[in-house]
């Protein structure tokens, strides 16, 4: 092999490894994307698809019902529409009514959202950016 052929083989191998790395990253990212929706943004297709996504808004006042063990039911609202959420697990310490929350999970056939994770605000002024932007766009945001 001449020097030129060796150099081309090294460059070709490096490009192949780089292409493989990019392909693996794209596959990993596409499998981990979770789409954010507010209750008013939901469509019948979202509910029937069985796809996982994030549901965000405010915990509706008077809807928190604690069941047996760690099961809890509550409603997430954007003041336009509400969605019933069922979660079985330990809630964040700062979870409470009328506070910002983002839940991740999917819909049951009966229309309830089954969450496998719940994220709550971490201080008096914090609201997840996506939730705050969505509430501002609908004209219901009361914060800063």
Q: Is 126 marked as binding a ligand? A: yes
Q: Which two structure tokens, joined as six digits, stand for 49?
A: 């698809």
Report the Cα 142 to chain-centroid distance in Å.
Answer: 23
CB contact at 8 A, 59 and 106:
no
Side-chain half-sphere CA neighbours of 120 within 13 A: 14
Is 87 known to sit in a ligand binding site? no
At residue 124, φ and ψ (nearest 5 deg) are: -60, -30
- What residues form the annotated binding site? 122, 126
- What residues form the annotated binding site for heme? 122, 126
């Amino acid at each position: 092999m001449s020097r030129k052929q060796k150099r081309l083989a090294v460059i070709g191998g490096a490009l192949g490894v780089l292409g493989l790395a990019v392909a693996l990253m794209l596959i990993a990212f596409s499998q981990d994307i979770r789409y954010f929706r507010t209750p008013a943004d939901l469509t019948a297709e979202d509910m029937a698809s069985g796809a996982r996504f994030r549901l965000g808004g405010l915990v509706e006042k008077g809807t928190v019902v604690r069941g047996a063990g760690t099961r809890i039911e509550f409603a997430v609202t954007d003041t336009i529409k509400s969605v019933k959420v069922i979660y079985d697990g330990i809630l964040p310490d700062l979870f409470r009514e009328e506070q910002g929350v983002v839940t991740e999970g999917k819909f049951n056939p009966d229309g309830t959202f089954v969450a496998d994770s719940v994220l709550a605000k971490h201080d008096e002024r914090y609201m997840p950016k996506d939730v705050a932007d969505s509430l501002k766009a609908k004209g219901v945001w009361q914060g800063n």
